[in-house]
Structure 1
Amino acid sequence: MGVDYYNVLKVNRGATDEDLRKAYKRLAMKWHPDKNPINHKEAEAKFKLISEAYDVLSDPQKRQIYDLYGEEALKSADFQPATPASGRARSNSSFRFDPRDADADADLFDNFFSGSPGGGGGLGGGSKARVFGENVERNGNREARRDLPEKKKPPPVESKLVCSLEELYKGGRRKMRISRVVHDEFGNPKSVEETLKIDIKPGWKKGTKITFPEKGNHEPGTIPADLIFVIEEKPHDVFKREGSDLVVSQKVTLLEALTGKTLDLMTLDGRNLIIPVTEIIRPGFEVSIANEGMPVSKDPSKKGNLKIQFDITFPLTLSAEQKSDLTRVLGGAQS
């Protein structure tokens, strides 16, 4: 017989019109594609089959042909119901059954739930409505239609993404394996694992948010929550970040502060910077090197400054001879 339309609607072969209406209403609401965003294709196919089954079994002529000859007879282009005299099917029929398309399914669902004839309601005939949330224009008047309940979306789920200063300087890719709860078409919860890829852009700052729409947990009757990763900056052993600038503290002895020092610093991308300091280093003294700070996220070709701040180490004691030598050398120095 091909497709068993009675089994599709979960009714017996003696089902009344009321039985068919109740079965269709229950199954159509369950399998409507708008209510199954996760398994949309499967729901669309089942919704189409349910609508086709109801279309056949709710029509006396189609149902009689289906009961006698099966689904193939309904869909045959050359089939004509048997006449009482012959009891045999003839060709060149005047009856033709067309498999349903998406628009026809939408019309059947709309008419059924808006109360058109055969749908158990009282709005009567008129125009069609294909999309939930639209108004229906009928007999020249526009009337607000009863929509399906609007699905709510829970607040986003935030998770920290701790990055090293090197990652935020050079950029990179992180793969985050997540596990979330979703519900199948029958409302049963199941755990789904997925790997998300995050491309870290040079110059991203603490607090930068990366959003993955609808990758959070899914509760029945709701839209899955968004999943948001928030950048957290891991403290660095050498550098401290101030906006787009990098700050490094360098210890020098009193002798080096007075006579000069050549600094050797390794950058966050592995380069060695040789920085000669010939000026006298005094408290609060700072050396600033342009374009050696953090990249600017909006334009990574631009960078902030590298600021070197000095910490002068003074001797704890001096001998009489050392004091005499310092007096002799520095006695004529001017501030």
Structure 2
Amino acid sequence: MTASTAAATPSTVHTVLGPVPADDLGVVSVHEGLLSVLPGAEYAYDITIDRAEVFERLERRLTEFRDAGGGTVVDATGMFHGRDLRLYEALSRATGVHVVASTGQGPEELLGGYFLTPQTNPPTPWPAERFADLFTREVTEGMVVPRVERRGSAGIVATTATFAGMTATDESLFRGAARAGLATGVPVSIRFGADAVADLQVVLDEGLTADRVVVGGLDRTDAVDAGAHLAVAERGSYVAIDHVGTEGGHHVTDKERIALVTELVDNGHAERILLSCSATGAAFGHDGIHTAYAHVLTTFVPALQAEGVSEDDVQRILVANPLALLTVKEH
């Protein structure tokens, strides 16, 4: 085990360069993508991934984030969507921005056949305990660099359900993520399928406390229409307004996001709000989201303040809340 995978104390957070004091995180963007590669795209004849160009592009975007006041980016792409630990280590050293990388997989449609156990008849998903062991080892032993080694410890377990609704495989993923969170003390990030509250309950049923879970995508139009942001906050989990800068399609506008944040604050849930853009710094095989990592700080926060959100609440949302979420807990 390398120094970067040494056991963290309860007051630290796992980053790609090793455990750091939670107080050092500064302003945190809790759900972004650095290098995002649709599984299989790296083998496509018409796609070229120039690592030097990718580094320069990501360095520039992370530097903009740092210069705007940012301190930490959580890369929530999980295991098989382009996660490149050596690249992330180099970027963190070059920019001074902490990078928290994630383990986890999902949704079902983006899993490789190995994880669907197609050799069974009929095909059955991996059981939750196998996913739990896979994710737990990426925290306790280091994240896998395929066929080569393990490197730094994952700082969060991230998983996603199928948009149309949670499948049996998705449920195994969610339960496995929850068990890994319980075993390691790192938080769990979920992207819901058709029902945010029901999908949250799946991980809570595994015994994970609500304050160790962040529910992403709560600025989707269907979630907003259902009042899921308030329901999740009332259960004690974190509400991620995490597509700031994206408008149209399945998501509300930034003006509507400001109303969501204001409503949560007015209902006493300021300590449950998290913000990010779900931006992809470099995307291959899919379009990605090209919002700047700095957008929350340069554009959205000033608009929040213009609507009366206090400086104390802004600092709580940007600094205190993600610090509490990402700090490794005793288990």
Higher percent of residues as helix: 2
The structure number with the bigger radius of gyration is 1
**Which has the bigger relative contact order, CA under 8 A and spacing at least 6?**
2
TM over 0.5: no
Q: TM-score range by the shorter chain?
A: under 0.3
